[in-house]
């Protein structure tokens, strides 16, 4: 599975195993275009940030947002999962 962020404020999930890659589903709920993505494999969580400063954590098993955090009014341009301390950093 491949995740891509979009200007239409959605995250597209792609099946890259197929001969021709296909969009399997779209995750919606952001208020601005997607500017950062990060996968947390230990928890099967996809983190996403947008230009309006919204941070979402999506449970990939349920395909549902489990946490939403409204950051300050500036874009989230980077996300990093730090497994060694089980923390997320963003800016």
Non-local CB neighbours of 40 within 8 Å, separated by 6+ positions: 46, 47, 81, 88
**pLDDT one digit per residue (tens) for the chain, 91 residues:** 899 999 999 999 999 887 788 899 999 999 999 999 999 999 999 999 999 999 999 999 999 999 998 877 789 999 999 999 889 998 8
As given in the structure block, the two tokens for residue 74 are 């500036």
pLDDT tens digit string along 31-49?
999 999 999 999 999 999 9
**Which of 12, 33, 34 lies closest to 24 in space, CA to CA?**
12
pTM of the model: 0.88
């Amino acid at each position: 599975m491949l995740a891509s962020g979009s200007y239409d404020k959605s995250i597209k999930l792609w099946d890259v195993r197929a001969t021709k890659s296909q969009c399997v589903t779209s995750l919606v709920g952001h208020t601005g275009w997607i500017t950062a993505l990060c996968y947390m494999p230990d928890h099967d969580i996809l983190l996403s940030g947008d230009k309006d400063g919204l941070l979402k954590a999506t449970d990939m098993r349920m395909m549902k947002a489990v946490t939403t955090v409204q950051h300050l009014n500036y874009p989230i341009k980077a996300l990093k999962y730090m497994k060694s301390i089980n923390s997320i950093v963003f800016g």
